[in-house]
Amino acid sequence: MPTVSLTNMHIAQNIMLKMKSSLKIGITSIVYNSHLNTVLAIGQELKKRGHQVIYYGFFDAKERVLAAGLEFCGIAEVEHPLGTNDKFQQQVSQMIGYDANKFSVKFVENQLSLYLSHLPNILKSASLDGFICDQTLLGLSSITEYLKIPTVQLCCTLAVIYTEFLFRPSPVSPFQDYSVNPLKQIINIIFTQVKCSFLFKNWRKLVNRFRKAHQLPLIWTALGLFQGKYLATIAQLIPELDFPTSFLPRNFYYCGSFSKNISEKDIYFPYEKLSNKPLIYACLGTSQNGNWEAFKLMDKACCSLDVQLVLSFGKKGCLSNFPIDELSANTIAFDYVPQKSLIKKSTLVINHAGLNSALETLQAGKPMICIPICYDQPEVAARMKRVGVAEVVPIEKLTVKRLQDAIIKVLKNDKYQQNASIYQEKLLQTGGVARAADIIETVIRYGSL
């Protein structure tokens, strides 16, 4: 990943940045809950330190941004009106695997097109000291590169580093577990190159049209989209949970989980319905929560075990479409629950291996069953399994027996709980949002740590 060199004409501006007590920082992300949660947590920490933080994005994010106490600058209200993201979520919630990946890439590609059309003129007059960009918006840094705005890349999901992409599993790799087997690595490299070239073909053309129009060097491969001129790349993971590596760039920083201790007192839950049996809490996130069969299989896998199962659909209105009368006596289901509270009360958590969900589970010191569905979830699940805090049952292979066997294995083997406690302690020792904010402040002011 190339480092940023300041030109002579910006030396004076750089000196002024070092002297400023308050910075004006732009921030953006795709409008997924997990991504918004991540960037808003960083934004709130920076605002608490006296900086002005402005979120640039679509109107689907406006309510959340303002509720977080940050400023909002909307773009493309006509082309991307309020409610567009909800329609997308309804469609993708029932997809799995490559279909979900392909559909989502096209959706975000359309969003990127609007960013490239609208954002440059807005930022030209914004007088920003720095910009924080969600890594998922591949190529968006072309705008800040053109405008010479110091930029930090924030990894809301698993970090994808160009120098690493060919050496570790990617979301499109056939082998997701970490391996030093040369044959598996070669197969992963070939699949990654070919599938990324197909998935991001139009995306690369879109970015290159902007870069050509503004006399920036063109990107020649699909994987080149993962490069960019960033002062720093910040990942919400710790090295102990990641696959071993020796290829990370010098300006890459592990910061741990960005999850915040948000009050859940306003979220109703009938705690009196919880029994004395070991509690299993299950949720498949807010994006892939439309797979009713997966929830039914969870219920069937637990019904003959001496446990209580709490199902959460992660979004209001889902329960009315679910056949709740078919659930067993030891299962209770809800649209939305105080998740952190229930995870703490649980003996075991079943999740989709979204990065935020996995880290939130580990922060509570709980083992998990991962049911990866799409995106980077297979990679997250592979990392959790590797460190001994989880068993993995991919959605494509999910059956009552496989899930029940995994549940029994984790419940009967104390090693999973012991490992979860070890990584809980490691996560709690990292700086999280405070560490990330320290890095952002420093690199925007000084160019590097």
Q: Tell me: domain 271-428, CATH 3.40.50.2000, correct?
A: yes
Q: How far apart are CA 158 and CA 409, in angstroms?
A: 27
pLDDT for position 4: 47
Return mean pLDDT, the chain.
87
What the block records as the tokens of 416 is 């999973």
pLDDT digits (tens, 9 = 90+) for 381-428: 999 999 999 999 999 999 999 999 999 999 999 999 999 999 999 998
- Cα–Cα distance list, 205 to 30, 195, 225, 440 (Å): 20, 16, 10, 30
**Domain 8-256+431-446 identical in fold to domain 271-428:** yes
Q: Is the dihedral of CA 211, 212, 217, 221 positive or negative?
A: positive
Residue 326: band (very low, low, confident or very high) from pLDDT cuts 50, 70, 90: confident
What the block records as the tokens of 184 is 């598996």
Q: How far apart are CA 152 and CA 441, in angstroms?
A: 10
pLDDT digits (tens, 9 = 90+) for 115-136: 999 999 999 999 999 999 999 9
pLDDT digits (tens, 9 = 90+) for 191-207: 776 777 777 788 889 99
All structural domains of the chain with their residue ranges: 8-256+431-446, 271-428
pLDDT for position 200: 79
pLDDT digits (tens, 9 = 90+) for 207-263: 999 999 999 999 888 777 877 889 999 999 999 998 887 678 889 999 999 877 666
pLDDT for position 367: 98
pLDDT digits (tens, 9 = 90+) for 332-386: 988 888 999 999 999 999 999 999 999 999 999 999 999 999 888 988 999 999 9
Name the one residue in this structure whose structure tokens are 């989209």. Answer: 225
What the block records as the tokens of 287 is 């994006």
Residues 6+ positions from 217 with CB-CB distance below 8 Å: 211
Q: Is the dihedral of CA 367, 334, 100, 238 positive or negative?
A: negative
Residue 275: band (very low, low, confident or very high) from pLDDT cuts 50, 70, 90: very high
Q: How far apart are CA 368 and CA 390, in angstroms?
A: 5
Q: How far apart are CA 366 and CA 424, in angstroms?
A: 8
Residue 71: band (very low, low, confident or very high) from pLDDT cuts 50, 70, 90: very high
pLDDT for position 3: 46
437 burial (CB, 10 Å; 0-12 / 13-18 / 19+) is buried
Name the one residue in this structure whose structure tokens are 């959790």. Answer: 384
In the chain, the percentage of residues whose pLDDT exceeds 70 is: 88
| Superfamily in which the 8-256+431-446 domain is placed by CATH | Glycogen Phosphorylase B; (3.40.50.2000)
pLDDT for position 74: 96
Q: What is the pTM of this model?
A: 0.88
Q: Confirm if 241 and 423 have CB atoms less than 8 A apart.
A: yes
What the block records as the tokens of 347 is 């003996």
pLDDT for position 81: 94
Q: Confirm if 357 and 283 have CB atoms less than 8 A apart.
A: yes
pLDDT for position 248: 80
Q: How far apart are CA 281 and CA 205, in angstroms?
A: 44
Lowest mean pLDDT among 31-40, 140-149, 173-182, 301-310: 173-182
